[in-house]
C-alpha cells in the first residue's frame, strides 16, 4: 500500500534531558499538549486540546514476566525528537501523506536494571505512544502479561463504541467477529453488553468541546490485538488483552517477545470537529512496510453473487452471469464465495477464471481460515491454517490466474491468531495474491505493513441486511456511524450499493429496502475499501438508467484525498473524496424524515458538477449544477435518502 519517498524521512533527536518530571510534548501547531508525570512512582499522562482536557490522568506501564513496570519506577531521563516524513499510499483514502510530529522518549528504571521507555509522538491531530523494555544482555525474552495503559475520559463524555463479543458464541461459535452494534451517546462507564469491554476504534464526544478516537496500530506477530476493558464510573477504560476462550482456547492471552521488547502504538485522535477523526492517517504514519510487494496489485470493484442470491448462486452458470455483469459495468473483479470447491468444482473454477480473464476480469475466491477453532461448515477448509497446505493451494491459485482470496472466520486477537493473519498475507504475496479477511479483527496499520492486504470486514456488514429486516431498517442510521468510527482508521469491507427493492433473487421475498437508490449509490463513495464488493445483481442493468450505470462504471475505490464536510453520528454524513481531478461528495440521511441544510465545498468553488439526487418516488435523477463562488451548496435529502455530487 505504501511507498516511501526517498530522502524525505527525517527524525531529529534533540538530546537527553535530566530535568525532573513532568515532561510536556506539544504538537507542531501547539494546540495539543501531552503531559507525562509519575505520581507515587507510577507513570501517567494527560492530553489537552486547545487548553481543554480530553484525557484526564491515565496510567502507563507493563506487567511482565520480568516484573511489574507500572509502579515503583524511577525517572531517569527523557529525549526530545522531531519527525518529518513524506510517503505515498497506493491504495488508501489519501495518496500523499506528510507526517510531522514532535516526540519524546521518557525512560524509567525498574528492578534488575530493566528500563521502561515510553515513546510519544504528537502531531496536529494525533497522539501516539508505545513501550520499549530493555535490560542486560542476559535477559533475552519476556512475556508481556498485561498493560497498565488506560484512557481516562472526561466525566461528561459520551460514547459511540461497540462491545467486545464473548468467545465461541454466535453462529457456529465463530465470535468474536467484531460485528456488534454501537452505543449511541451513552455515558462513559456504562457497562458493555457482554461485560468484557469494547473493541477499537472507540469514539467519544467530549461534551461540546470536541471528539476523541482511540485505537492502535502496528500490531504484528510479535504481539496481540488489544481492546478497551470495562470503564469505571469515572470514565477510565483500561487496555485489555484477548479473552482466554478466543480461538477455542488456542494460544495464550499474553505476548511473548524477544528483548528488547517493543509494543504496538496506542493512538488518540483529537478534534473540535469530526474532521481530524475522518481525515487521520495515524494508522499508517507510525508503521513500516514489512516486505516488498511481489507485483503491482490491482484494486477496484467486484460483483458478488452470494450477497443477494446467497448459497444457491454458487454454481457455474450463475457465476458466468456475474462475470458478465462485471464486464458490463467495467468492474475489475468477481468474488466467488463459500462452497465453490464442492458446488462448482476445481476444474470448472479454472474455466471460470479463464472466461473472466478473457473479459479482463479477475477472480477472488473464498476460503475458511480454520483448522479446528470454529464449527463453520463452509468449504474450502484446512487450506489456510498450515504453511504446507496454504502454499500448495496458493501455487495452484497462481497457476490458474486467481487474483485474490477472501479468508473468513478468524475469531480472536491472540498472538497466535495475529501470526496466522501475517503468515497468510506473507505467503499470498509470494504467489501474487491479494487478501481480504472476514469474520476478522480490525486491521491495525496492515494496509501499509502488508502491501497485498486489501480490506477487512470487522463490522456489522451488509450480509445482515439480507439476513434481518431490523438490520435493513437501521441501515441508514448505521451509515451515519461507520464513517466516523470504524472506517476512520482502516479499510472496511461493508459491501455497499443495493439497488434491488427486496434483497432476494426474485425480489418477491426477502428483506425490504427502505433506503433510496441514491443513498445506496452514495455509500459506494462514503465507505472506503480498496476492493469494493457491490450488492448489485444482473437485473439492475435493465432496471437502472444509463447515467446510474455510467456512474458505477467510473466510481473509484482508492483515493487521493478525503475530507470531512458535515455530519454527526446517527444523523447524517457528508464526505468528499478526490481521485485525480475529480471530487466525489457523498451525502446520506440517517433519519426517517427529510433533511435540508447547506454544505460548504471549498474545493469546488465556482465549478460545474453533476448532482445525483432522489426524486419524489425515491428514484435517482441527475442534473447539472454550478457550485457558488463561496462554495455553498444546498442539500435536500429524502428520509433515508442520499445525494452524490461529482465534479466535471
Number of residues that make up the chain: 648
Q: Taking a C-beta distance cutoff of 8 angstroms, is the pair 54, 36 a contact?
A: no
pLDDT score, position 3? 52
Cell, residue 96: 500523499
pLDDT score, position 373? 87
pLDDT score, position 4? 42
Q: Taking a C-beta distance cutoff of 8 angstroms, is the pair 442, 227 a contact?
A: no
From 300, 642, 639, 304, select the one nearest 466 (Cα to Cα).
304
pLDDT score, position 5? 43
Domain 566-647 is found in CATH 2.60.40.1180 = yes
Cα three-residue angle 30-41-127, rounded to 5 degrees: 25
- Which residue has 509470494 as its cell numbers? 430
**What does the alpha-carbon distance between residue 360 and residue 300 come to, in Å, rounded to a whole number?**
12
- Provide the 10 A C-beta neighbour count for residue 115: 17
Domain 300-558 is found in CATH 3.20.20.70 = yes
**What does the alpha-carbon distance between residue 310 and residue 207 come to, in Å, rounded to a whole number?**
44
pLDDT score, position 11? 61
From 49, 47, 41, 266, select the one nearest 147 (Cα to Cα).
266
Q: Give the pTM.
A: 0.97
Interstrand relation of 23-26 and 96-109 (parallel, antiparallel or unpaired):
unpaired
Q: Which residues of 314-334 are buried (b: 16+ CB within 10 A; e: fewer)?
A: bbeebbebbbbbbbbbbbbbb
pLDDT score, position 7? 38
Q: Which residues, 6 or more positions from 164, have their beta carbon under 8 angstroms from its beta carbon?
A: 176, 180, 192, 194, 196, 197, 198, 199, 227, 243
CATH topology of domain 2-285: Beta-galactosidase; Chain A, domain 5 (2.70.98)
**What does the alpha-carbon distance between residue 117 and residue 135 come to, in Å, rounded to a whole number?**
11
pLDDT score, position 6? 38
The domain ranges of the chain are: 2-285, 300-558, 566-647
At what angle are helices 415-430 and 387-400 packed, to 10 degrees?
Answer: 30
Series of mean pLDDT values for 10-residue runs along the chain (648 residues) = 49 62 97 95 97 98 97 96 98 98 97 93 98 96 98 97 96 94 97 97 96 98 98 96 95 97 98 98 98 98 98 98 98 98 98 98 96 91 97 98 97 96 98 98 98 98 97 98 98 98 96 98 98 98 98 98 98 98 98 98 98 94 97 98 96
From 133, 10, 12, 8, select the one nearest 80 (Cα to Cα).
12
At what angle are helices 316-328 and 346-358 packed, to 10 degrees?
Answer: 20
| Own/partner long-range contacts of 7-13 (Cβ < 8 Å, ≥24 apart) | 8/84, 8/85, 8/86, 8/87, 9/84, 9/85, 9/86, 9/87, 10/82, 10/83, 10/84, 10/85, 11/81, 11/82, 11/83, 11/84, 12/81, 12/82, 12/83, 12/84, 13/79, 13/80, 13/81
Amino acid at each position: 500500500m505504501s511507498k516511501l519517498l526517498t530522502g524525505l524521512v527525517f527524525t531529529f533527536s534533540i538530546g537527553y534531558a535530566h530535568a525532573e518530571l513532568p515532561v510536556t510534548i506539544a504538537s507542531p501547531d501547539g494546540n495539543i499538549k501531552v503531559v507525562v508525570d509519575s505520581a507515587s512512582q507510577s507513570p501517567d499522562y494527560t492530553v489537552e486540546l486547545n487548553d481543554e482536557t480530553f484525557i484526564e490522568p491515565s496510567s502507563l506501564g507493563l506487567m511482565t514476566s520480568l516484573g511489574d513496570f507500572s509502579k515503583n519506577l524511577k525517572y531517569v531521563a527523557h529525549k526530545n525528537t522531531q519527525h518529518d516524513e513524506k510517503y505515498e499510499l497506493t491504495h488508501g483514502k489519501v495518496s500523499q501523506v506528510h507526517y510531522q510530529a514532535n516526540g519524546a522518549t521518557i525512560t524509567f528504571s525498574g528492578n534488575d536494571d530493566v528500563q521502561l521507555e515510553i515513546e510519544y509522538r504528537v502531531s496536529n491531530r494525533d497522539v501516539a505512544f508505545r513501550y520499549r523494555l530493555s535490560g542486560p544482555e542476559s535477559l533475552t525474552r519476556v512475556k508481556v502479561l498485561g498493560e497498565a495503559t488506560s484512557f481516562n475520559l472526561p466525566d461528561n463524555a459520551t460514547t459511540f463504541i461497540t462491545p467486545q463479543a464473548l468467545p465461541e458464541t454466535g453462529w457456529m461459535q465463530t465470535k468474536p467477529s467484531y460485528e456488534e452494534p454501537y452505543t449511541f451517546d451513552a455515558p462513559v462507564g456504562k457497562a458493555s453488553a457482554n461485560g468484557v469491554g469494547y473493541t477499537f476504534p472507540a469514539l467519544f464526544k467530549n461534551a461540546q468541546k470536541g471528539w476523541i478516537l482511540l485505537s492502535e496500530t502496528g500490531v504484528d506477530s510479535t504481539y496481540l490485538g488489544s481492546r478497551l476493558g470495562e470503564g469505571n464510573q469515572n470514565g477510565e477504560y483500561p487496555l485489555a488483552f484477548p479473552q482466554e476462550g478466543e480461538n477455542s482456547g488456542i494460544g495464550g492471552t499474553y505476548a511473548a517477545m524477544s528483548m528488547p521488547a517493543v509494543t504496538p502504538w496506542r493512538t488518540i485522535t483529537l478534534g473540535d470537529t469530526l474532521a481530524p477523526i475522518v481525515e487521520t492517517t495515524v494508522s499508517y504514519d507510525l508503521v513500516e512496510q514489512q516486505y516488498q510487494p511481489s507485483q503491482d496489485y490491482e484494486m477496484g470493484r467486484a460483483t458478488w453473487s452470494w450477497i443477494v442470491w446467497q448459497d444457491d448462486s454458487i454454481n457455474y452458470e450463475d457465476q458466468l452471469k456475474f462475470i458478465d455483469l462485471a464486464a458490463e459495468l467495467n468492474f475489475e473483479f468477481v468474488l466467488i464465495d463459500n462452497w465453490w470447491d464442492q458446488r462448482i468444482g476445481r476444474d470448472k473454477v479454472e474455466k471460470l477464471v479463464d472466461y473472466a480473464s478473457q473479459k479482463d476480469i479477475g477472480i477472488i475466491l473464498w476460503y475458511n481460515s480454520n483448522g479446528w477453532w470454529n464449527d463453520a461448515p463452509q468449504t474450502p477448509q484446512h487450506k489456510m491454517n498450515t504453511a504446507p497446505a496454504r502454499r500448495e493451494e496458493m501455487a495452484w491459485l497462481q497457476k490458474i490466474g486467481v487474483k485474490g482470496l477472501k479468508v473468513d472466520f478468524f475469531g480472536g486477537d491472540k498472538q497466535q491468531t495475529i501470526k496466522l493473519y501475517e503468515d497468510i498475507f506473507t505467503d499470498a504475496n509470494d504467489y501474487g495474491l491479494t487478501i481480504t479477511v472476514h469474520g476478522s479483527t480490525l486491521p491495525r496499520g496492515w494496509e501499509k505493513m502488508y502491501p497485498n492486504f486489501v480490506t477487512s470486514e470487522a463490522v456489522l456488514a451488509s450480509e445482515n441486511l439480507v439476513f434481518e429486516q431490523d438490520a435493513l431498517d437501521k441501515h441508514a442510521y448505521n451509515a451515519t456511524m461507520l464513517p466516523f468510527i470504524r472506517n476512520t482508521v482502516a479499510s472496511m469491507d461493508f459491501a455497499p450499493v443495493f439497488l434491488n427493492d427486496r434483497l432476494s433473487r426474485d425480489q418477491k421475498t426477502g428483506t425490504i429496502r427502505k433506503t433510496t437508490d441514491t443513498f445506496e449509490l452514495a455509500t459506494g463513495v462514503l465507505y472506503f475499501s480498496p476492493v469494493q464488493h457491490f450488492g448489485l445483481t444482473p437485473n439492475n442493468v435493465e432496471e437502472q438508467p444509463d447515467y446510474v450505470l455510467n456512474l458505477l462504471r467510473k466510481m473509484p475505490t482508492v483515493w487521493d484525498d478525503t475530507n470531512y464536510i458535515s455530519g454527526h453520528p446517527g444523523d447524517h454524513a457528508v464526505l468528499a473524496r478526490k481521485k485525480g481531478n475529480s471530487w466525489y461528495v457523498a451525502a446520506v440521511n440517517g433519519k426517517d424524515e427529510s433533511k435540508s441544510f447547506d454544505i460548504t465545498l471549498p474545493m469546488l468553488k465556482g465549478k460545474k458538477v453533476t448532482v445525483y439526487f432522489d426524486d419524489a418516488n425515491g428514484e435517482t435523477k441527475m442534473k447539472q449544477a454550478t457550485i457558488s463562488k463561496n462554495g455553498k451548496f444546498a442539500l435536500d435529502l429524502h428520509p433515508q435518502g442520499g445525494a452524490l455530487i461529482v465534479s466535471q
